[in-house]
Structures are given as C-alpha cells and as structure tokens.
Amino acid sequence: MTSSPRYLTGDAAGIHEFLDRYDVFLFDCDGVLWSGDHLFPGTNETLELLRSKGKQVVFVTNNSTKSRADYKKKLEGLGIPSTTEEIFSSSYSASIYISRILTLPENKRKVFVIGETGIEQELRSENVPFIGGTDEAFRREITPEDYKRVAAGDSSLLDPEVGVVLVGLDFHINYLKLALAYHYVKRGAVFLATNIDSTLPNSGTLFPGAGSMSAPLIMMLGQEPVSLGKPNQAMMDAIEGKFKFDRSRACMVGDRANTDIRFGLEGQLGGTLAVLTGVSSKEDFVSGPIRPLAYLDKLSDLLASD
Amino acid sequence: MTSSPRYLTGDAAGIHEFLDRYDVFLFDCDGVLWSGDHLFPGTNETLELLRSKGKQVVFVTNNSTKSRADYKKKLEGLGIPSTTEEIFSSSYSASIYISRILTLPENKRKVFVIGETGIEQELRSENVPFIGGTDEAFRREITPEDYKRVAAGDSSLLDPEVGVVLVGLDFHINYLKLALAYHYVKRGAVFLATNIDSTLPNSGTLFPGAGSMSAPLIMMLGQEPVSLGKPNQAMMDAIEGKFKFDRSRACMVGDRANTDIRFGLEGQLGGTLAVLTGVSSKEDFVSGPIRPLAYLDKLSDLLASD
C-alpha cells in the first residue's frame, strides 16, 4: 500500500479511535519499550493503560538465546511487569512450530540444535527431543575419523532419528556442528532457523547474529531455512496458534519497517503502529516501500488518549 | 562463445596441433590428474610428454589449507614428480596478491587470518605480517568483556595495524574470529578470501569449504570478498605476476566448467581443455553456457599425439 501513515502524536481523538480498533497488541521490544538496558520513560504506564482497557499484550522478540523465562527476568530487570504467557521469543516460536505445526514421521522427531540454552528450554517445554545445543560432546574439533563416520552415515555420529535442524544464535558455533547440520539436511531433515537477523546488537555495536550461523549452511545447501522469527509468517502462525486472536483486531507495534511493520502487514493484521525511537526513521515510514497504518514519535505518546 | 568444443580423443593430428599452440599448461588437479587419493593411469606419462616438449607445467589448486610445500608432498605421495615452483595454491595466490599487488598504507600491513597453517606458511614466505590463523589465543569463547573491548576499539583486541582480513578454510572457525573479522572490515580492512568454494570433498562426501567461512561475513557486511581462487582473475593475475607468460600461448586444463574453464576463458588464455574424469559432463562442455576450446575423455588421451 502506498497510502501515508497517520501521525498520531498529539492527536488524542485519533489515538482513542485507534486503540478502540484492536484487542491485541504485539510489541517488538528493543527500540520500542527500551533501548539496550535503558527503559523509555512512560513504557510501563502505556502498557498499564492498554491492560486497563482489556487489551492483550504480547512481547515478540527474535532473540533465540533466551527462553521465555529468561526473557521475563530481563523484563523484570527493566521494571516491566509481565507473565511468561505474554512473551513470544523466536526459540519458543520454533518449538511451537515443530511440536504443533510440522508433521514429522514417528521415527524422525528429534531436533539437531545449533544454538544456546534458550532453544533447549523451549524445546523441553514442548516435549520435543533434541541433540546438539549446549552439549559439550559437540564442542570439539572435527577428527579424521569423523569424516569417515559421516561419509559412512555412522548412526553414533549422525542420529537416524533427527528430522529437523534448528539453527539459532550459537556462541559456540564450530566446524563439526556445521558439518553435521549440513549432512542432516542432505539426508532429509527440515531446515529451520529461529531467525535470520545477520547481526546482534551488543554494547552499542554489532556482532554475528543468528542469520550468520545459518549462512554457511545456506551457501552449502543452496537452500534457505524456514525462519520462525519476524518477519516470517511462520512466527505469526505460531503466535496465532497459541492466542487464537482475530487478526483484524490485532496491531503490531515496532521500530523497524522491514521486520516489525512488514511482519504485521504480511500477517494481515488490522493495524501496524510504528515508533521513531529505534532503527527506522520517519522518512522510512512515510515514504518507504513498507508503511505502517499509523506512527508515533514514541510509544508513550499513546498516553495522550485520555 | 557458443562454438562447439573440438573433441580430441583419438585425433592424433589434432592433439599434435593443439599442443604446439601452447607453451604453458595450467592444471587443475583433483578430477584431472587424480580423484581423491587415486592417481589416474597415464597422468605421469602425460606430464612427462609435456615437459619433454619444453612446456611449462603449473598445478593450480583452490585448497588453502596446504602450503605449496605441503602440496608438493601430496603430489609426491601420489607419485607425481614436481617442484614447489610449479605449484600454485590459493593460499600462495592470496599471499602474492597481498604482498605484490595490494597497496596498503605503511601502518596497515598486517593480515587477520581465518584459516589454517597453509595460509600462514605462504604469508611468511612473502614476509607478510599476520595475526589470527592457528594462534591458540583466538581459539576461545567470546567473553562479556570482549564485547565491550570491541565496542571501544581496544587495540589489545583489535590490532590497529590490521589492513586485510583473509578468510580461508578454518577447521577451528568460531564466534570470536567472526566477530573480529567483521569489525576489522567495518574499520576499513580489505576483505579477501582464498577461495569461495562452499564445500570441500572428503571421504567421498562434502564438508564445509572456505566459502562457508566467508558466508557469515558476507551476510553481515553485505559485501563479497575478493577471492584469490579460481575462477577469480585475481588468481590469474597472481600466476602471471610470477610466471610472466604469454596468455595467448597458455592453456587451462580442468574438469569443471564453472571454475576451471571459466577461469581460463575469462583470463583470455589461448586455450581451454576439458576432461570428462571429474565434475562436469560432456553435455556441460558441449551444450552448456561455458565451453572449452577442446575436450578429451581423459587427460592421458594426449599421449596419442605421437
């Protein structure tokens, strides 16, 4: 759509009308509620306002290294009250997708994980069996014997029950894990990624993100993974699978046009709301190819509705 | 060119005429001279024939983990007499390119290496200073402190003299190395790769290749490296820089249309000769988009010239 987004800051009647249209608000977090470890003023009051009006609030993050329980602790650390049920991380999204949406043969239900403990916790919460992950047995060099065992399909190295390769951010990525993941997919495993963000912000600069863990496999396989993070709709399907909401009465709130707003638009949500406290600029939202329904200078401008 | 390649097997006069046109023969190795650890019958006799006619023979390999000295040992192990001077590996190609073709500022001549000992040996042979590579100091986990040091540009972690990042096959690839390589390029270092083959054959199957080490950086940076391996012409320039041959009187011999034959065609060599003992098929060479000047069933068919 090329229509201009509505600017709601200072427009009390417009905000009131906008909020009335939705029952569910999906929030991107970093750049919307906070930046790094700095909570934006008015974040808590805005969330309280929405809750007081009976709105369902959902926190949607692509960070796969944390489980929902870990993320709840992060929210608490920043002073944001929340329940685990309100949190939707790409690690949880991936687990839901594997357990409730993918149909795997009885003997192919194990997941080979490239990633950290957040993924493992969420797979456990959905009773999905897995190998790899933080297991020290995979944090080693490849040996001459490994090449032969892989080539021979040795079941003590290549578990025949693995039917899914799930790739998230792994601070312990290594050659052996990449080699095994490649062979699992070549043998027929479904290739999934928690998210495909190439970089990860930390300490005010960028580091390799989950997408960078998938990149070698994408190049080797000539195949993209199904990504369960924003903007991929598999994540929206997984959120809907859990909350069963009416998409026409849901609104995605975010700071990035090409992930958050795109996620809401492609998910055919009733609304998309952008804020200017993160990555994308007013110019991006007003004149770019991906435009929200409305935008605000900052999230707490919603407080002017009353 | 869409002209059909000439089929030389059994055509003694054609072979004789073909050989007379060239003074230099550049050989791809695996798939041409041998397959894995199996030397093709007649390989040695064919090389001897060429040498007896005064031809310069050059062995051209994209394998960056071996130095020329290592590769000479491999050739000897397969019974092929050779000298180190006749061997051109992508690790050597990269070293020549850095030392003789790149112009780096006086205080930016250090190379950050992702790769194994073959690269280190060749950089040393060209007196190019480097860090990284097989140094155990880089074979460790990233720490919370590292994020802050990288963000602050701490010179004890990010060496200010690094002006080149060179990425080859590294069996000890890890998160820290990728993070440092990313930041060096963001700070202005030249991004080079020994080669960009996504996979590496071993034990009859495939494992991650040098290209898979560059893949995360390509995704993060949105930038391709200059690759010094076939088919990139930086490798041809480096070979020419060493041998000073007349390109119109040189012939590339290989088994892969999209690397070997393309390498010779784009290098505007006088000849390209394909063999059917490797990756590409007769169909590829006769009807594909990249066609050699001539082709043979197998290299030793050249012995029929007399």
Residue A53 counted as domain residue = yes
Please, what is the average pLDDT of chain A?
A: 94
Residues A196 and A244 in one domain: no
Beta carbons of A279 and A258 less than 8 angstroms apart: no
Return the higher-pLDDT residue of B200 and B249: B249
Residue B122 counted as domain residue = yes
pLDDT for the residue numbered A228: 92
Residue A246 marked in a binding site: no
How many residues make up chain B in this entry?
306
Please, what is the average pLDDT of chain B?
A: 94
Query: Taking phi first (over 0 means left), then psi (-120 to 50 degrees means alpha), and beta for anything else, what does residue A115 get?
Result: left
Instruction: List, in sequence order, every residue forming a beta bridge with A112; answer none if it has no partner.
Output: A131, A165
Q: Is residue B28 flagged as an active site residue?
A: yes
Final residue belonging to a domain, choices B204, B227, B250: B227
Asked if A66 reaches chain B (Cβ–Cβ under 8 Å), the answer is no
Residues A180-201: b if buried by 16+ CB within 10 A, e if exposed: bbbbbbeeebbbbbbbbbbbbe
pLDDT for the residue numbered B2: 61
Residue B67 counted as domain residue = no
Residue contact A151–B202, C-beta within 8 A: yes
Answer whether residue B306 shows pLDDT above 70: no
Residue contact A207–B171, C-beta within 8 A: no
- CATH value at residue A220: 3.40.50.1000
Residues A164 and A213 in one domain: yes
Q: Tell me the pLDDT band of B3, cut-offs 50, 70 and 90.
A: confident
Q: Which residue of B has its CA nearest to A210?
A: B216
From chain A, pick out residues whose CB is under 8 angstroms from the CB of B199: 220
Chain Cα centroid distance, residue B105: 26
Q: Is residue B297 flagged as an active site residue?
A: no
pLDDT for the residue numbered B129: 98
Residues A113 and A219 in one domain: yes
Q: Which residue of B has its CA nearest to A177?
A: B208
Which of A141, A148, A212 lies at the smallest CB-CB distance from B220?
A212
From chain B, pick out residues whose CB is under 8 angstroms from the CB of A142: 171, 207
Residues B222 and B236 in one domain: no
Residues B292 and B210 in one domain: no
pLDDT for the residue numbered A54: 96
* Local structure of residue A304 (DSSP, 8 states): G
Q: Which residue of A has its CA nearest to B209?
A: A220
The 10s digit of each residue's pLDDT in B245-282 is: 999 999 999 998 988 999 999 999 999 999 999 888 99
Q: Where are the beta strands (DSSP E) in chain B?
A: 6-7, 24-27, 34-35, 38-39, 56-61, 87-89, 110-114, 130-132, 162-167, 190-193, 199-202, 205-208, 226-227, 250-254, 271-275, 294-296
Residues B26 and B57 in one domain: yes
pLDDT for the residue numbered B227: 93
pLDDT for the residue numbered A30: 86
Residue A262, Cβ neighbours under 10 Å: how many? 20
Q: Where are the beta strands (DSSP E) in chain A?
A: 6-7, 24-27, 34-35, 38-39, 56-61, 87-89, 110-114, 130-132, 162-167, 190-193, 199-202, 205-208, 226-227, 250-254, 271-275, 294-296
Which of B147, B173, B199 lies at the smallest CB-CB distance from A207?
B147
Query: Looking at chain B from residue 192 to 231, which residues have their Cβ under 8 Å from any Cβ of chain A?
Result: 198-199, 202-209, 211-213, 215-220
The 10s digit of each residue's pLDDT in A99-130 is: 988 999 999 999 999 999 999 999 999 999 99
Residues A223 and A256 in one domain: no
Residue A165 counted as domain residue = yes
The 10s digit of each residue's pLDDT in A144-168 is: 999 999 999 999 999 999 999 999 9
Which of B147, B170, B203 lies at the smallest CB-CB distance from A203?
B147
Sign of CA dihedral B157, B161, B167, B169: negative
Residues A160 and A127 in one domain: yes
Residues A217 and A238 in one domain: no
pLDDT for the residue numbered B114: 98
Q: Which of B114, B158, B214, B219 to mutate to test the interface with A (most CBs of A within 10 A)?
A: B219
Residue contact A205–B150, C-beta within 8 A: yes
Residue B172 counted as domain residue = yes
Residues A111 and A169 in one domain: yes
Beta-carbon pairs below 8 A across chains A and B? 105
Active-site residue, from B28, B170, B260, B301: B28
Full residue range of the structural domain in which residue A123 is found: 104-227
pLDDT for the residue numbered A166: 98
Residue contact B220–A208, C-beta within 8 A: yes
Which of B147, B215, B220 lies at the smallest CB-CB distance from A202?
B147
Asked if A169 reaches chain B (Cβ–Cβ under 8 Å), the answer is no
Answer whether residue B101 shows pLDDT above 90: no
The closest of A128, A134, A125 to A69, measured between CA atoms, is A125
Answer whether residue A222 shows pLDDT above 60: yes
From chain A, pick out residues whose CB is under 8 angstroms from the CB of B154: none
- Token duo for residue A104: 């795997």
Q: What is the DSSP string of A86-149?
A: GEEEHHHHHHHIIIII----TT--EEEEES-HHHHHHHHHTT--EEETT-GGGSS---HHHHHH
Answer whether residue B10 shows pLDDT above 70: yes
The 10s digit of each residue's pLDDT in A59-79 is: 999 989 999 999 999 999 999
Residue A260 counted as domain residue = yes
The closest of A289, A302, A298 to A3, measured between CA atoms, is A289
Residue A88 counted as domain residue = no
The 10s digit of each residue's pLDDT in B145-157 is: 999 999 999 999 9
Asked if A150 reaches chain B (Cβ–Cβ under 8 Å), the answer is yes
Final residue belonging to a domain, choices B227, B247, B267: B227
Domains: count for chain B: 2
SS3 content of chain B, % helix, strand, coil (to 5): 40, 20, 40
Active-site residue, from B11, B20, B23, B30: B30
Final residue belonging to a domain, choices A188, A204, A227: A227
Phi, psi for A76 (deg, rounded to 5): -60, -40
Residues A179 and A215 in one domain: yes
The closest of A125, A208, A140 to A174, measured between CA atoms, is A140
pLDDT for the residue numbered A50: 97
Residues B115 and B221 in one domain: yes
Residue A152 counted as domain residue = yes
